Amino acid sequence: MPNVAIRATGLRKWFGEGDAKTTALREVNFEAVFGEMVYIVGPSGSGKTTLLSVLSGILKPNSGRVSVEGVDIWSLNADQLAEFRLKKIGFVFQDFHLFPRLNTAENVAIPLILRKKDWDESIKEAAKYLEIVGLKGRENLPPVKLSGGEQQRVAIARAMIGQPDILIMDEPTASLDGDTGQSILKFVHENILNSNRCIVIVTHDSRIYEFASRILKMEDGRLTGIEERAA
Amino acid sequence: MNGILKLAYKLLVNDKAKFTALLVGIAFAVFLMMFVTSMFAGILNHSSSTVINIGASIWVMDPAVQTAANSIGMPDYVLDAVRSMPGVKYAVPLYSGGALVKLPDGTYQSVTVLGLDDNSLFGRPQLTEGKIENIYAENGFVVVHDSEFSKLENPRVGSEFELNDNRGVVVGIAKASTAGLFGIPTLYTTYERAIQYIPNPRYTISFVLVEPKSPGDIVKIKQQVKTLGYLALTKAEFMRRTSDFYTFQTGVGTNILIMTVISFIIGLSISAQTFYTFILENLERFGALKAIGTKSRELVGMILFQASFTALTGYGLGVGLCTILISLAKLRLPSYAAMITYTSLLLAFVMVLIITVISSYFGVRRVLRIEPFDIFRG
């Protein structure tokens, strides 16, 4: 099936050994296709973030296989995997993780700079993406001068500037008020999601469920339910 | 500049407080290291002032002599024996001793008296006033115009003083290429007058100054002098012997070493700690970079670049500050005993490199350990 973006089978992940062993993922199977916005929801400690990390090539599972666009990512070496993430996957972190000592445009340009693109061209490109996320004219401001919602938009612009096929968002509304969170997800749904892109979101926030294509429920390291939605 | 390095540069310099603290730490350490080693180099240079100013190729002396300031008299036959050695172009005696002069206002001042060979005046200084031949005039002395000159009440040609109840007349003012170490004025006169005016032990020749016929004769001359029971050293060897004496037998070298080590520790502790704090504060962002797709070696490169850039900038500032201060000091005290040598520069540079390596080591270790998963976990 050519439109499968991520396919994971038999994922198991545990931390520690012996009495300290904690199992985060128990035989998880997962699939996401291009053009959909998949939510992974569940209580704290259910394994959502672990699953997201395993799917995005950040945390190696103890067993199981993850294929992104047909590539078995955990068979790649560290450098190949880093390169793969840089080119194929965009990340929006819960706390944004913007560099306070860089201005907004420089923060957004980071993925292009890491791809060895010329600095000035990267900054120009970043300005375009800032315009897309509605932050035109804020290029030279440091992130601390922006509101939480604006910082989230900067983080989205940074994730998108490399035009990744997969966008990973970890608790994208956790640091935002309800209205801002909704407007951000609406923006993502309307402007970022397209038929060539797959977005995987981990969230607790039921107020943004309306934008999901599918909602996968997790509990105790297992996917316990799937809710198909008509978003 | 490579984009990743420019990113590292911006992350570093935009954190103005930390960057300033890092620069101050390294610059201060470099300044201290440079300053003490420059002072040491200056002291060593001044300690060899007589050797430098006289300029003889070979110095013959008693084997117990360590510096030109503390000579042991040699019998006249040594001079004759050296003159008769194959390979010797000429050899002349030099008197070097201390004396007290009574100034016109009745006060006494210690001086160094150098008695030059009466026939050749070998080792004579360059005069700025008067004529060298007037040194042969009755009671004639030449005064060196260095930083100690004023201690003789700024004499002029024709000024008089008393030396051991003998009248002395200033017949010339000379400039010295290198001032002495002990802060006392220097007088030149003829060898005969020096031993006549100054009370002396049985033997009066402090040094025999030798000019070889060719550089190849030096080894031969040294061997022949050794058979006489004396020591012949080239100018460079005598300077090194003097330096070694002050370095290893007076405690000066140990103190300088301790000061240098303290400077190094200060610089290391300030910069390593500040740099490590800088890395810790940015650790999550480095983790985010790792998650986005930065390779470990690129992160290491960023940290090494930041550490090296800080170190080299701090080094430049430290060297510049030291140079300015020494230059200012020399404006007021022309014979100020400090000189920046390539050795001092190299030593400080090596110290800075060590500081860089140690500072970045801990940062690199920490950054390599951070797992991008920790960023997701918060």
Residues of B in contact with A89 (CB under 8 A): 293
Considering only alpha carbons, which residue of chain B is nearest residue A142?
A: B14
**Would you put residue A57 in left (φ > 0), alpha (ψ -120 to 50) or beta?**
left
Considering only alpha carbons, which residue of chain A is nearest residue B14?
A: A101
Q: How far apart are CA B228 and CA B231, in angstroms?
A: 8
Amino acid code (one letter) for A34? F
Q: Give me the mean pLDDT over the A214-219 stretch.
A: 94
Q: How far apart are CA B339 and CA B357, in angstroms?
A: 28
SS3 category, B174? strand
Predicted local confidence at residue A139, as pLDDT: 93
Helix residue ranges per DSSP H, B166-251: 191-197, 218-227, 235-248
Q: Which of residues 48-67 of A touch B (CB under 8 A)?
A: 49-50, 52-53, 56, 58-59
Q: Which of B292, B296, B369, B373 to mutate to test the interface with A (most CBs of A within 10 A)?
A: B292
SS3 category, A57? coil
Q: How far apart are CA B274 and CA B56, in angstroms?
A: 53
Q: Which of B7, B10, B282, B299 to mutate to test the interface with A (most CBs of A within 10 A)?
A: B7
Amino acid code (one letter) for B209? L
**Distance, in angstroms, between B38 CA and closest chain A CA?**
39
Closest CA to A65 of A129, A4, A21, A8: A8
Q: How confident is the model at residue A1 (pLDDT cuts 50, 70, 90)?
A: very low
Angle at A60 between CA A55 and CA A64, to 5 degrees: 70
Q: Which of residues 293-332 of B touch A (CB under 8 A)?
A: 293-296, 298
Give the pLDDT of chain B (378 residues) as one tens digit per residue.
588 999 999 999 998 988 998 898 889 888 988 888 888 888 888 888 888 888 899 999 999 999 888 889 999 999 999 999 999 999 999 999 889 999 988 999 999 899 999 999 998 888 899 999 999 988 999 998 887 888 888 899 999 999 988 999 999 999 876 666 677 888 999 999 999 898 888 898 999 999 999 999 999 999 999 999 999 999 999 999 998 888 888 888 888 888 888 888 887 888 788 888 888 888 888 888 999 999 999 999 999 999 899 999 999 999 999 999 999 988 887 667 788 989 889 988 998 888 888 888 888 998 888 888 887 766
3-state SS, one letter per residue, for A9-36: EEEEEEECCHHHCEEEEEEEEEEEECCC
Q: Which of residues 84-113 of A touch B (CB under 8 A)?
A: 84-87, 89, 91, 93-95, 97, 99, 101-102, 106, 110-111, 113
Across the interface, do A118 and B285 touch by the CB < 8 Å criterion? no
Considering only alpha carbons, which residue of chain B is nearest residue A106?
A: B7
Residues of A in contact with B1 (CB under 8 A): 119
The predicted-structure confidence for B148-171, as pLDDT tens digits, reads as follows 888 888 899 999 999 988 999 999
Considering only alpha carbons, which residue of chain A is nearest residue B288?
A: A97
The predicted-structure confidence for A114-135, as pLDDT tens digits, reads as follows 999 999 999 999 999 999 888 8
Question: Do residues A98 and A154 make contact, with C-beta atoms less than 8 angstroms apart?
Answer: yes
Considering only alpha carbons, which residue of chain B is nearest residue A89?
A: B292
Higher local confidence (pLDDT), A219 or B282: A219
Q: Does A117 touch chain B (CB under 8 A)?
A: yes
Predicted local confidence at residue A154, as pLDDT: 94
Across the interface, do A113 and B288 touch by the CB < 8 Å criterion? no
Considering only alpha carbons, which residue of chain B is nearest residue A79?
A: B295
**Distance, in angstroms, between A93 CA and closest chain B CA?**
7
Question: Do residues B148 and B186 make contact, with C-beta atoms less than 8 angstroms apart?
Answer: yes
Q: Does B284 touch chain A (CB under 8 A)?
A: yes
Instruction: Kindly provide the ipTM of the predicted complex, given to two decimals.
Output: 0.86
